[in-house]
Structure 1
Amino acid sequence: MSLIVENLEKLGLKLPDAVLPVANYVPCNLSNGVLYVSGQLPKTENGFITGQLGKNVSIEDGKKAAEICVLHALSQVKKNISDLAKIKKCIKITVLVNSASDFDQHSIVANGASDLLVSLLGENGKHARSAFGVSSLPFGCAVEVEFMFEIG
């Protein structure tokens, strides 16, 4: 059992089914040992987590949305390379936060994704990161996160 799977179980988390792309792109693209994972949205069994931070979504709910994006990314990795143990490390994430123009806590929201990656991968979960606000996201989602993983 991989470290990621063990830690998912310890945290009581389950991977959702991998979501199919809604346009002309692929969920993952492997090149020279780096797996690029397309932006993942916070979809739950009840639908997407929607809204704007600083308007109608709390920072805690934004962090939770970012965590859900991590779970979706790992589902895509598992579907595309079959084994989460092949993830050597997380290289970088980019976190887009649907936010009001005066919202300035993007990095706090992004910590939801970053903290979960470290909880799942340990030191190999530490990554470079960009986090910034946008005026809208697909389906009105509160957060979108894209990932780069080293595969070996």
Structure 2
Amino acid sequence: MSIEQKLQQLGITLPPVAVPAAAYVPFVQTGKLVFLSGHIARKDGKPWVGQLGKNLTTQDGQAAARAIAIDLLGTLHAAVGDLNKVKRIVKVMSLVNSTPDYTEQHLVTNGCSDLIGEIFGEAGKHARSAFGVAQIPLGACVEIELIAEVE
């Protein structure tokens, strides 16, 4: 089954690439690696604002991370033209806007990792980091970046 068929089966439509909010580009390819800039969580077209451990639950964070995964896939598609060219998702790095005593950043990030694994199968198994941070641009609850290897 192609990546597009898997996305259709899951009811996922990839969004267009978001316009950068500062002095950077959405992606850079060097050799066979594509580096995607950090994508913040969005809900209803606006930054998904909040802090895990304060006014958002782990489940809220997982939903935000899943939404980011969809945005990342839209950017990756724009970068390579066809998601079937992706040989491997190499690395995911997640920043979780959280209180000092919140310790479930890894579970929040599973919202992204699980969807990527479901879509890419073995090629979706990736290295990962998940950090708790004091703040993310625009007050977003989660920001995630991704590195992929392509044909």
TM-score greater than 0.5 by the shorter chain: yes
Deviation, structure 1 residue 46:
4.1
The superposition leaves residues 108-146 of structure 1 with CA deviations (integer Å, 9 ceiling, x where unpaired) of 001111100000000110000000100000111000000
Q: Is 1:62 matched with 2:61?
A: yes
Question: SS of the counterpart of 1:103?
Answer: coil
Q: CA deviation at 1:147?
A: 0.1
Structure 1 regions of 5+ residues with no counterpart?
none
Question: Paired residue for 2:134?
Answer: 135
Q: Which runs of 4+ in 1 moved over 3 A?
A: none
Residue in 1 that maps onto 2:116: 117
Q: 1:51, 1:44 → 2: CA distance?
A: 11
**Match runs of 1:12-91 below 5 Å:** 12-91=11-90
Is contact 2:87-2:149 (8 Å) kept?
Answer: yes
1:68 Cα offset (Å):
1.0
Partner Cα distance (1:44, 1:99) in 2: 18
Structure 1 residues 69-121: Cα deviation after superposition (integer angstroms, max 9, x where no partner):
11111111122222111111100000100000100001100111110000000
- How many angstroms apart in 2 are the aligned matches of 1:117 and 1:14? 14
Write out per-residue CA displacement over residues 35-78 of structure 1, whole angstroms, 9 at most, x where no aligned residue.
00000111233422110000001111100111111111111112
For residue 15 of structure 1, give the secondary structure of its aligned residue in structure 2: coil
Is contact 2:63–2:111 with CA below 8 Å preserved after alignment?
yes
TM-score (norm 1): 0.95
2-structure distance, mates of 1:148, 1:46: 24
Alpha-carbon distance between aligned partners in 1 of 2:48 and 2:3, rounded to the nearest angstrom: 24
Q: Secondary structure at the match of 1:57?
A: coil
Say if 1:3 and 1:120, in contact at 8 Å, map to a contact too: no
User: Percent of aligned positions with the same letter in both sequences?
Assistant: 38
Q: Say if 1:16 and 1:45 are closer, same or farther in 2 by CA, change over 3 A.
A: farther
CA contact (8 A) 1:107 1:131 kept: yes
Shift of 1:30: 0.5
Q: Indicate conservation of the 8 Å contact 1:3/1:121, yes or no.
A: no
